[in-house]
Amino acid sequence: DVYKRQHPATAANVATLNERGAVLVGPEEGHLASGLVAVGRMSEPARLLGEVRLLLSRQNGPLAGRKIVVTAGGTREAIDPVRYLTNRSSGKQGYALAQAALDAGAEVTLVSSAVGVAPPTGATVIAVDSAQEMADAVLAAVRDADVLLMAAAVADFRPAQVSQQKIKKEGGAPVIELTPNPDILQLVWKQREAEGSPQVVVGFAAETQDLLANAGGKLTRKGLDLIVANNVSQADAGFAVDTNRVTLLRADAEPEILPLMGKNAVAEEIVGRVELLLA
């Protein structure tokens, strides 16, 4: 529609390209070289690459036609209107999973509490803040999904009372009582038993000790098909960095210990296992 407002020659050329099946990206609105602010800017290279990637994967990816919900980021639990409790999750691992699922041809919904990370082109992003908001969004999104990849670092507790006003220091150091948040994966398990979807659920376990025992416990307690055991005690793996070191655990198979890898490569490994689980 942008082109309808353009010079007739441009509009005609665009119509010809459309007829030939070309996919058009942009132009974007913004500052032009002429100094005007208008439609005419080239789309950013990251967007162009994202669109090309999406187009290639849509054609014959192994997960074409599948719907995948991915969660990413650390939830934020309000203390008062200006303060919250959170954790060190950047969202990088979850966003890498979303990209890997898109690359495999899946339709991706990214339920995200991450800030400052660019979502991959083609993902439908649902922005959330708290664990409760994430729970609501995930339970709704997985109703018609094939897979849930739960990479978010969800706060186990939130302040029992949220102060409606900014807490003043003159009142002295406050005592903040905490109350448990819902366990999203356990809620998904219950819904899945009643409704049948999603077919495959993958959880993560961020651990600083007894990695396999703790992750194995979560695999069972949360009704998962696969858990990604993430040793977050080393500086080059886990929260915020670009690399990760994980072990993939299933109830009916030997643990698969993966070496230190980029988060994109870890994501591709996980999406590869998901393809096998769906098959």
Binding residues (CB under 6 A) for ligand PMT: these are 89-94, 131, 150-154, 156, 181, 183-185, 203-206, 218, 222, 230, 232, 238-240
- Residue number, 94 or 119, with CB nearest to ligand PMT: 94
- Residue number, 105 or 114, with CB nearest to ligand PMT: 114
Q: How far is the CB of 162 from ligand PMT (least distance, A)?
A: 18
User: Which of 13, 60, 87, 244 is the catalytic position?
Assistant: 87
Q: How far is the CB of 81 from ligand PMT (least distance, A)?
A: 24
- Residue number, 109 or 230, with CB nearest to ligand PMT: 230
- Residue number, 57 or 93, with CB nearest to ligand PMT: 93
Cβ atoms of 270 and 97 within 8 Å: the answer is yes
Q: How far is the CB of 209 from ligand PMT (least distance, A)?
A: 12
87 catalytic, yes or no?
yes
- Residue number, 61 or 76, with CB nearest to ligand PMT: 76
Q: How far is the CB of 35 from ligand PMT (least distance, A)?
A: 41
Q: How far is the CB of 276 from ligand PMT (least distance, A)?
A: 20
Q: Report the catalytic residues.
A: 87
